[in-house]
Structure 1
Amino acid sequence: MPYKLLITAALIALTGSAVAQQSAPTVESRVLLKSKASWDGTPYTSYPEGQPELTLLKINIPANTALKWHSHPIPNAAYVASGEITVETRDSKKEIRLKKGDALAEMVDIMHRGKTGDTPVELIVFYAATEATPLSQ
């Protein structure tokens, strides 16, 4: 009789362990952006030499705002954490509309700006530059 009780207890323990393993959360990874060109199709041609310096910014833009025209001397990527924004180029008049969850390969040395609509926007922007390189001009 004790053997049956021991076997039953072992089976219950193993079953519980298997259920716990099945319901354990898994790590997931999803590529949000991978690009050799900016969103308008302009290829990235070179990368600055020197000591690398990484910068990650959280940018909050109020509703109904047009940012100043600017350019970036280095490649960077933006992720829309909330809201919607339209990015437009000054000279070619190209534009792209982005919403929450979208990622964007930014332009290098091309004047552009972002414009928000009726809701504020939160962007997470990653720059991979070198020391003393301005992020925007």
Structure 2
Amino acid sequence: MKTRALTSLLVTTLAVVILPGCSQEPAPTAIERKVLLQGSTSWDGTSYTRYPDAVPELSLLKLKIPANTELNWHKHPTPNAAYILSGELTVESRDSGQVRSFKQGEALAEMVDIIHRGKTGDKPVELIVFYAGSQGIPLSE
């Protein structure tokens, strides 16, 4: 009888102590950090010159652009950056004629006060865009 009770106690103790640890994922040991984009120029090398003298307003957008889409010519009055989640986006400057393509996993520093547009290819594009703007100033014009 004592052996049976001792065995039962041992099995219960092992189940309480060992089994919970077996089913859990190991805790991460460090924060992973990867700088996706850092700089003071847009993708075409134009330097950012100033911020508007207004109250800051941050905007973070997730955009989905259909395949074979050509966006309208536009410009941004404040700095912004994009991260391509999927697809490929080709950006072109109207005045300089410069063209550059960005694909999944790449980041781009957008142009400020330069007229440009984006084009998608045969696949849709999904991207996250961060705007460091100011209250009352549109994200694009």
Q: Same fold (TM over 0.5)?
A: yes
Q: In structure 1, how many angstroms separate the alpha carbons of the residues matched to 2:40 and 2:132?
A: 14
Instruction: State which of 21, 24, 37 in structure 1 corresponds to 2:27.
Output: 24
Following TM superposition, the consecutive aligned residue runs of length 4 or more in structure 1 with deviations greater than 6 angstroms are none
Identity of aligned residues (%): 63
- Count of matched residue pairs: 119
Q: Structure 2: which 5+ residue stretches go unaligned?
A: 1-16
Once the two structures are superposed, the pairs formed by residues 6-25 of structure 1 within 5 Å of their partners are 23-25=26-28
- Partner residue in 1 for 2:79: 75
Instruction: State which of 118, 124, 128 in structure 2 corresponds to 1:124.
Output: 128
Q: Which deviations, in whole Å up to 9, do the C-alpha atoms of 1:28-61 show, x marking residues without a partner?
A: 0110000111010100011112211100011100
- Partner residue in 1 for 2:93: 89
1:98 to 2:102 alignment = yes
Instruction: State which of 41, 45, 48 in structure 2 corresponds to 1:44.
Output: 48
Per the TM alignment, residue 24 of structure 1 is displaced from its structure 2 partner at its CA by 2.8
Q: In structure 2, how many angstroms separate the alpha carbons of the residues matched to 1:76 and 1:49?
A: 17
Q: In structure 2, how many angstroms separate the alpha carbons of the residues matched to 1:51 and 1:115?
A: 32
Q: Structure 1: which 5+ residue stretches go unaligned?
A: 1-12
RMSD over aligned CA atoms reads: 1.6
Q: In structure 2, how many angstroms separate the alpha carbons of the residues matched to 1:47 and 1:91?
A: 23
Structure of greater Rg: 2
Once the two structures are superposed, the pairs formed by residues 104-119 of structure 1 within 5 Å of their partners are 104-119=108-123
TM-score by length of 2: 0.80
TM-score by length of 1: 0.82
Per the TM alignment, residue 91 of structure 1 is displaced from its structure 2 partner at its CA by 1.3
Query: What letter matches 1:81 in structure 2?
Result: L
SS state at 1:60 partner? strand
